[in-house]
Amino acid sequence: MTAAPTRPDDRSGAQDPAPLGPPADTVSPDGEGRIGAAIGRQRSGATSADAPGILRRQAARESSARTYARSLPIVPVRARGMTVEGADGRRYLDCLSGAGTLALGHNHPVVLAAIRGVLDTGAPLHVLDLATPVKDRFVEELFATLPPELARDGRVQFCGPAGTDAVEAALKLVRTATGRRGVVAFTGAYHGMTEGALAVSGDTAIRDATGAGTGDTVRLPFPQDYRCPFGVGGAEGARIAGHYAGTLLADPGGGVPTPAGMIVEPVQGEGGVLPAPDGWLRELRRLTAERGIPLIADEVQTGLGRTGAMWGVDHAGVVPDVMVVSKAIGGSLPLAVVVYRAELDRWWPGAHAGTFRGNQLAMAAGTATIAFVREHRLHEHAARVGARLAGALRGLMPGRPAIGEVRGRGLMLGVEIVEPDAAPDTIGARPAAPGLALAVRREALARGLIVELGGRHDSVVRLLPPLTMTEVQADAVLERLAEAIEAARAGYRGPGAGPGGAGSGTGTARSARAGSGTAGFTSAASGATGAGAGGSTAGSPGVGFQGARVGGVGSSVVECEAGGFGAVAEAVGSAGGESDGVEPAGVGSGAAGSSAAEGVRGEAPGVGFVVVGSESV
């Protein structure tokens, strides 16, 4: 897989990674092709000059729980397909896709047409759970994609507009149907942020912080190769995991009563992009069927073609009793449902509800999206392009010890970043490197590539591009990610290698890739009080975020939260010498940058920060 040549209709350079499109006279399967001129001509009302104020105001007014805005300090104003354009005119290849929500990418024409179609009819937009033609079409289209055995006698419950609410509904469903309470879940799982969903998720930090309990949850090991919980990996690790599950459920002295259900992700997304082995999933299906335990498949992120099959369970040929579905089925709008076998339908009217469960625009957008994926067989396209990209990413591993493993299915891929100089354990795994992964994400953004991190240690670079991603775009993703890993590795000083204690630090000059200017910005930092009182605040240990916000001349404020390792926040100067915190390093058009000293205030012992500032001339 090699980088694509620069072309007028599909540029892959750093400054303009992907076009919003030439004239709108055809519709291509990827939703980009030649349809972007209209959106390219539109103005959002936001300009490059507005971006700093928008970032500053939203950072000041939004809660401390905000996440993506910290690591991606951009102001999107236009988008088409895989391309996002910021208020400053910079364009990015989006490998986040709304956390997997955008199966067809941004603003696909069939989705926009479906939404306009509902608006133009004058139909009611808010109908609770009343019957409507829009809802009827959505249900028919959704059921056409389900495993036939489930579709034949399946029932559907419309929930609140998020996947976590559908998880809550699924748990209530199986408890009502069985009269039992307990649930079997798996280590590393993520099922949502409401209390019931947190109880079956693996992240203890969030539960501990909120006081949320684990309810009647029993956790079993989720098999994986690179960090096998049994120390063997491969098919043997999956076999042991299945055997352990069966032994525990069958043991009358094991202390685990027959549960109300078992919930599993076909691929753990937030857990680090860990595909469930097919044989292991089939064993879980056998065990649960024999014992009358409903099997819940959480397809919120894996569903609708993401993994290279229509549903994640299709790879193993497993038919669950309950499927939790959200994200992509709304065509970019909020929608969540639970589909389940009719025999479990023991609810009474109103047993589960949600004010916004009748979102007509989301149902129309979802119908169009599901139909497009099915008719164009985009799940097969995702399998082909994803396998090609995964193979090319694995090809980067020789000579790059910072890449521990490349894994995933279809266009749900993960690259685990590890300590390059550490000794591997007994099965060949090096320690996770969250600080290095943070730098990779930052360097990727500087090169026009949006990625996010996941995994138990936030050390897995996650790729969730739209299913419409072309091979040319995949080549560009590969090139930019490879460069980002190299750049991050070059400036990495090892785990916990912050530049100093609280209130101190020494900057390291680093050159970044230039867009169209004569030279890349050179950025550096000084721990001493510099020209202007730059501020940096430390968050809680063990949780790292990188973000930047805005300040004027001499008063740049960079917000960075991290614990346990050195974090880097960038405030790159724009023309005129003001630190705007928006422009990614190396994508600007200025001449050689001069370093600007910034002061650092540390508020957590042992956490080092580097504040990077540069001013163009």
Q: In CATH, what number is assigned to the domain containing residue 293?
A: 3.40.640.10
Share of the chain above pLDDT 70, in %: 72
Of 490, 521, 552, the one marking the end of a domain is 490
Of 320, 355, 375, the one marking the end of a domain is 375
Higher pLDDT, 507 or 339: 339
Residue 494 banded pLDDT, cuts 50, 70, 90? confident
**Burial 560-576, CB ≥16 within 10 A → b, else e:** bbbbbbbbbbbbbbbee
Region 247-260: mean pLDDT is 93
240 pLDDT more than 90: yes
What is the per-residue pLDDT for 212? 73
What is the per-residue pLDDT for 347? 93
Same domain for 288 and 271, yes or no, is yes
CA distances from 535 to 61, 573, 602 (A): 18, 16, 9
Give the model confidence (pLDDT) of 56-87 as tens digits. Answer: 999 999 999 888 999 999 999 999 999 999 99
What is the per-residue pLDDT for 133? 97
466 pLDDT more than 60: yes
Tabulate helix, strand, coil % of the chain (nearest 5).
30, 15, 50
CA distances from 321 to 243, 449, 517 (A): 22, 39, 58
Q: In CATH, what number is assigned to the domain containing residue 59?
A: 3.90.1150.10
Domain limits for position 503? 497-617
Same domain for 521 and 596, yes or no, is yes
What is the per-residue pLDDT for 534? 32
Give the model confidence (pLDDT) of 306-358 as tens digits. Answer: 999 999 999 999 999 999 999 999 999 999 999 999 999 999 999 998 889 99
- Pick the closest to residue 96 from 78, 115, 59, 71 (CA basis): 71
Residue 141 banded pLDDT, cuts 50, 70, 90? very high
What is the per-residue pLDDT for 500? 36
Q: How far apart are CA 169 and CA 351, in angstroms?
A: 9
**Burial 415-444, CB ≥16 within 10 A → b, else e:** bbbbbbeeeeeeeebbebbbbbbbbbbbbb
Region 512-532: mean pLDDT is 31
What is the per-residue pLDDT for 512? 34
615 pLDDT more than 70: no
Q: How far apart are CA 143 and CA 124, in angstroms?
A: 24
508 pLDDT more than 50: no
What is the per-residue pLDDT for 48? 65
Residue pair 310/275 in contact (Cβ under 8 Å)? The answer is no
Same domain for 351 and 383, yes or no, is no
Three state DSSP letters for 300-350: CCCCCCCCCCCCHHHHHCCCCCEEEECHHHHCCCCCCEEEEEHHHCCCCCC
Residue 497 banded pLDDT, cuts 50, 70, 90? low
Q: What is the largest CA-CA distance in the chain?
A: 75
Whether residue 186 is contained in a domain is answered as yes
Give the model confidence (pLDDT) of 24-34 as tens digits. Answer: 223 344 444 43
What is the per-residue pLDDT for 206? 77
Higher pLDDT, 42 or 375: 375
Residue 51 banded pLDDT, cuts 50, 70, 90? confident
8 pLDDT more than 70: no
Whether residue 383 is contained in a domain is answered as yes
154 pLDDT more than 50: yes
Whether residue 136 is contained in a domain is answered as no
Three state DSSP letters for 397-439: CCCCCCEEEEEEECCEEEEEEECCCCCCCCCCCCCECHHHHHH
Region 414-421: mean pLDDT is 98
What is the per-residue pLDDT for 42? 43
On average, the pLDDT of the chain sits at 78
What is the per-residue pLDDT for 299? 98
Same domain for 223 and 256, yes or no, is yes
What is the per-residue pLDDT for 45? 59
Same domain for 177 and 259, yes or no, is yes
Region 585-597: mean pLDDT is 30
What is the per-residue pLDDT for 159? 95
Whether residue 182 is contained in a domain is answered as yes
Whether residue 93 is contained in a domain is answered as yes
Q: How far apart are CA 309 and CA 409, in angstroms?
A: 9
What is the per-residue pLDDT for 19? 40
23 pLDDT more than 90: no
Give the model confidence (pLDDT) of 155-203 as tens digits. Answer: 999 999 999 999 999 999 999 999 999 999 999 999 999 999 999 999 8
Residue 473 banded pLDDT, cuts 50, 70, 90? very high
Whether residue 119 is contained in a domain is answered as no
Same domain for 464 and 518, yes or no, is no
Same domain for 475 and 540, yes or no, is no
Of 467, 490, 513, the one marking the end of a domain is 490
Residues 6+ apart with CB under 8 A from 160: 166, 336, 354, 355, 356, 357
Residues 6+ apart with CB under 8 A from 251: none
Same domain for 215 and 314, yes or no, is yes
Query: Amino acid identity, residue 212?
Result: A
Residue pair 373/380 in contact (Cβ under 8 Å)? The answer is no
Same domain for 456 and 410, yes or no, is yes
Residues 6+ apart with CB under 8 A from 75: 46, 50, 51, 54, 55, 86, 87, 88, 582
Least confident of 303-307, 346-350, 545-549: 545-549
Torsion 265-269-272-277 (CA) sign: positive
21 pLDDT more than 90: no
614 pLDDT more than 50: no
What is the per-residue pLDDT for 207? 76
Number of structural domains in the chain: 3
Whether residue 190 is contained in a domain is answered as yes
Higher pLDDT, 54 or 570: 54
Same domain for 393 and 426, yes or no, is yes
Same domain for 576 and 439, yes or no, is no
Residues 6+ apart with CB under 8 A from 595: 507, 509, 522, 523, 524, 525, 613, 614
Same domain for 267 and 189, yes or no, is yes
Whether residue 19 is contained in a domain is answered as no
The pTM score is: 0.77
Region 376-404: mean pLDDT is 98
